[in-house]
Amino acid sequence: MFVTFEGIDGSGKSTQSKAVFESLSAILGKDRVIKTHEPGDWSGGRDLRKTIISGNIRSTWAEVLIFLADRCEHVERIIRPALISGMVVLCERYSDSTTAYQVFGRGFPEDLLCEISRRALLPIPDVTFWFDIPVSVAMERIASRKSIPDRFENDAALLERISSGYESIFRNEPERITRLDGTSPESWLTQVIVSRILELIAA
pLDDT value of residue 53: 77
Q: What is the pLDDT of residues 147-177, one digit of tens each?
A: 655 555 567 889 999 999 999 999 999 999 9
192, 180 Cβ separation under 8 angstroms: yes
147 versus 27: the higher-pLDDT residue is 27
Q: For domain 2-202, which architecture applies?
A: 3-Layer(aba) Sandwich (3.40)
Q: What is the pLDDT of residues 82-97, one digit of tens each?
A: 999 999 999 999 999 9
Instruction: Give mean pLDDT, residues 181-202.
Output: 97
- Domain definitions of the chain by residue range: 2-202
Buried/exposed code over 73-106 (b: 16+ C-beta within 10 A; e: otherwise): bbbebbbbebbeeebbbbbbbbbbbbbbbbbbbe
Compute the average pLDDT of residues 40-57: 81
